[in-house]
Amino acid sequence: MKRAVVLLSGGLDSVTALAIAKEQGFECYTLSFDYGQRHDAEINAAKKLSVQLGALDHKIINIDLRTIGGSALTDNTIDVPEDHPDGIPVTYVPARNTVFLSIALAWAEVLAAEAIFVGVNAVDYSGYPDCRPEFIAAFEQLANLATKAGVEGQKLTVHAPLMTLSKADIIQRGIELGIDYSQTVSCYQADDDGYACGRCDSCHFRRQGFEMAGIVDPTLYQSN
Amino acid sequence: MKRAVVLLSGGLDSVTALAIAKEQGFECYTLSFDYGQRHDAEINAAKKLSVQLGALDHKIINIDLRTIGGSALTDNTIDVPEDHPDGIPVTYVPARNTVFLSIALAWAEVLAAEAIFVGVNAVDYSGYPDCRPEFIAAFEQLANLATKAGVEGQKLTVHAPLMTLSKADIIQRGIELGIDYSQTVSCYQADDDGYACGRCDSCHFRRQGFEMAGIVDPTLYQSN
């Protein structure tokens, strides 16, 4: 059976990517990162969702990107913004998707997996450069040069099935696939129980997505 | 002054790459990884060499690649071979250079560095796919699509100054630059004091390099 490594943050997008990989007939191996982000709620969500969606294994890699810093998500001296200015916001984590995909590539090689799935999206995103189709294409090209498997002719494909979907489209697709989005955590500053702030960029796009999809937003918001 | 992030394992090649970066006028920031390799001796060497060669900062990133496994260097159930068969050996660590370069890219962005130096070498190497010029070229292309700095027009160059040199050439270049190679650790299974086994692939190529260069091998070998 064909295998895929699926990057799973525990947020709305990545769980939808996982459900799509499963629908496409892949045996799924989920990969999450404890990289020093502001809360553990999303990792806890990733653990639960991996089991619910039948992943064969779930690994959590510790890599403390606070050593590098440079983002509101990995440097506590930089506040998470609650407005939505133009340009790439301070929640951008330098080279994060490159780092995560590289480690997914390592695991894919060990598993002899033929695919990596990642829930990046170029439509209702925050302007992150590593969420664009040209980035994914360049990573796929690199991946096939980087490994022993690649040299030996085993082709790896990087799937970004949400790339051209709006947040509303993603939600509609996930509902069709039976996802319970109340279990996902998208907020940049969720509390330990996974309750969302309702104010950061990520909450903003998520809430708007449910509105546009005409679906009741199941997100658990903090009461303050 | 122009800045470079230099990947520094503590081995012969990477310290030579550091000396070359310095000679080219870069302010150097060295980056090492504690990834679950078999010994700490090379990280200790990297610490000392960073100071000796005047690096402005040295970061050590913990990322346990034993979680992924798939190599004699990250899985203690796989022995380091002491012969030199054809093909890619079991000391190959899946996607290691991709992972290391990705994290170097993250730090380069935070530092606004314009270069990454890496001591990979396609001549006297062990057949590792991620030591080839086409891999480095693909990573540079990815790097310039992956980051906010790249999107904003700051070009990053990945330098692999040892790529086409033989081990003997590397050693001669390093001696000209004043490197004390007795301080470097290349062995895959060095002891805690940095004494080399003298039998693994890495020892084999290093010893041969000194012979070919006509330079007395200053490596500290285990007596057994």
pLDDT in tens, A30-44: 999 998 876 788 899
CB B68 within 8 A of CB A63: no
Whether A65 has its CB under 8 Å from any CB of chain B: the answer is yes
Q: For residue A145, which amino acid is it?
A: L
Domain assignments of chain B as residue spans, ordered by start: 3-213
Comparing A135-149, B92-106, B112-126, the range with the smallest average pLDDT is B112-126
- Average pLDDT on B184-195 reads 89
Taking the C-alpha atoms of residue A105 and residue B96, their distance in angstroms, rounded to an integer, is 10
Are residues B65 and A106, on separate chains, in Cβ contact within 8 Å?
Answer: yes
- Give ∠ CA B100-B106-B108 in degrees, rounded to 5: 100
What share of chain A has pLDDT > 70, as a percent? 97
**Which architecture, in CATH terms, is B3-213?**
3-Layer(aba) Sandwich (3.40)
* Residue B213 pLDDT > 80: yes
Chain B residues near residue A92 by CB distance under 8 angstroms? 148
Biggest CA–CA distance in chain A, Å, is 56
Tokens found for residue B184: 């470097």
The DSSP annotation for chain B comes to --EEEEE--SSHHHHHHHHHHHHTT-EEEEEEEESS-S-SHHHHHHHHHHHHTT-SEEEEEEB-GGGT--STTT-TTSPPPSS--SSS-TTPPTTHHHHHHHHHHHHHHHHT-SEEE----SSSS---GGGSHHHHHHHHHHHHHHSHHHHTT---EEE-TTTT--HHHHHHHHHHTT--GGG----TT--TT--B-S-SHHHHHHHHHHHHHT------B---
Structure tokens, B138: 């693909």
Kindly state the DSSP code that residue A221 receives in the 8-state scheme: B
Q: Using CA atoms, how far apart are residues A5 and A22, in angstroms rounded to an integer?
A: 11
Provide the edge-to-edge strand list for the sheet that holds B3-7: B57-62, B27-34, B3-7, B115-117, B157-159
Q: Is the model's pLDDT at B224 over the cut of 60? A: no
In angstroms, the CA A107 to CA A128 distance is 25
Residue A90, chain B, CB below 8 Å: the answer is no
A122 pLDDT band, cuts 50/70/90, is confident
SS3 A98: helix
B180 and B204 in contact (C-beta within 8 Å)? no
Average pLDDT over residues B38-42: 81
Is residue A156 predicted with pLDDT exceeding 90? yes
Out of A137-146, A173-182, B40-49, B81-90, which region has the weakest mean confidence (pLDDT)?
B81-90
Strands ordered across the beta sheet of A157-159: A57-62, A27-34, A3-7, A115-117, A157-159
A130 part of contact set with chain B, CB < 8 Å: yes
Its pTM surpasses 0.90: yes
The CA-CA-CA angle for residues A136, A96, A7, to 5°, reads 65
Average pLDDT over residues A94-98: 92
* pLDDT above 80 (res A84): no
User: Is there a contact between B21 and B158 (Cβ–Cβ < 8 Å)?
Assistant: no
Residue of higher predicted confidence among A7 and A71: A7
Nearest to B32 by CA among B57, B52, B54: B57
Q: What is the CA radius of gyration of chain A?
A: 17
* pLDDT per position as a tens digit, B27-39: 999 999 998 876 7
Whether the per-residue pLDDT at A83 is higher than 80: the answer is no
Q: From the CB of residue A99, how many other CB atoms can be counted at a distance below 10 Å?
A: 27
pLDDT at A26 over 70: yes
| Confidence band of B140 (pLDDT split at 50, 70, 90) | very high
Cα separation, B224 vs B222, in Å, equals 6
Give pLDDT tens digits for B43-78. 999 999 999 999 999 999 999 888 888 888 888 888
Residue type, B157: T
Tell me which residue in A61, A68, A129 faces B150 most closely, judged by beta carbons: A129
Kindly list the residues from chain A whose CB atom is less than 8 angstroms away from the CB atom of residue B136.
none
**Cβ-defined contact of B129 to A150 (cutoff 8 Å):** yes
pLDDT band at A24, cuts 50/70/90? very high
- Taking 3-state DSSP, the helix, strand and coil percentages for chain A, each rounded to the nearest 5, stand at 40, 10, 45
What integer pLDDT is reported at residue A124 of this predicted model?
59
What's the pLDDT at B83?
Answer: 74
Under an 8 A CB cutoff, do B145 and A151 touch?
no
Q: How many CB atoms lie within 10 A of CB B87?
A: 11
User: What pLDDT is stored for residue A123 in this prediction?
Assistant: 77
- Which residue type occupies A13? D
The answer to which of A94-103, A126-135, B204-213 has the lowest mean pLDDT is A126-135
Q: What is the pLDDT of residue B152?
A: 86
Residue B124 reports pLDDT greater than 70: no
Q: What residue in B sits closest to A107 (Cα-Cα)?
A: B68
A63/B67 touch (CB, cutoff 8 Å), yes or no: no
Task: Calculate mean pLDDT across residues B181-197.
Answer: 90
Mean pLDDT comparison of A153-157, B12-16, B197-201, highest-scoring range: B12-16
Chain A positions in Cβ-Cβ contact with residue B64 (cut-off 8 Å): 61-62
